[in-house]
């Protein structure tokens, strides 16, 4: 499991890359990825291209990010979801809370 983040050049967008299992063991690394940036971004992108698994705690972490980013007004995109990850997000009705691409 590896979680890394990369702010855009203007600091307006933060991309968080998830590799491997996205579960409770990644809680602190995920939180650090968005809390330890010098500027607060307006937009967040969660790149799940290399995520092999996610569980209910990962869904909870995404909800915590949403709260941190402003709740209903948060601009968060979940991108590069595998069919398995997309299915979990769909069953959980996350397409109503996040932009899933």
So what CATH class is 2-100?
alpha beta
Contact by Cβ (8 Å): 61, 27: yes
At 26-81, the pLDDT tens digits run 999 999 999 988 888 999 999 999 998 899 999 999 999 999 999 999 999 999 99
pLDDT in the model for residue 98: 95
Domain locations along the chain: 2-100
pTM of this structure: 0.92
């Amino acid at each position: 499991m590896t979680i890394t983040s990369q702010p855009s050049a203007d600091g307006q967008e933060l991309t968080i890359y998830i590799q491997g299992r996205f579960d409770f063991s990644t809680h602190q690394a995920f939180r650090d990825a968005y809390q330890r940036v010098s500027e607060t971004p307006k937009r967040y992108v969660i790149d799940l291209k290399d995520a092999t698994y996610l569980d209910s705690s990962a869904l909870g972490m995404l909800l915590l990010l949403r709260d941190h980013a402003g709740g209903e007004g948060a601009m968060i995109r979940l991108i590069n979801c595998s069919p398995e990850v997309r299915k979990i997000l769909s069953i959980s009705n996350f397409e109503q809370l996040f932009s899933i691409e």
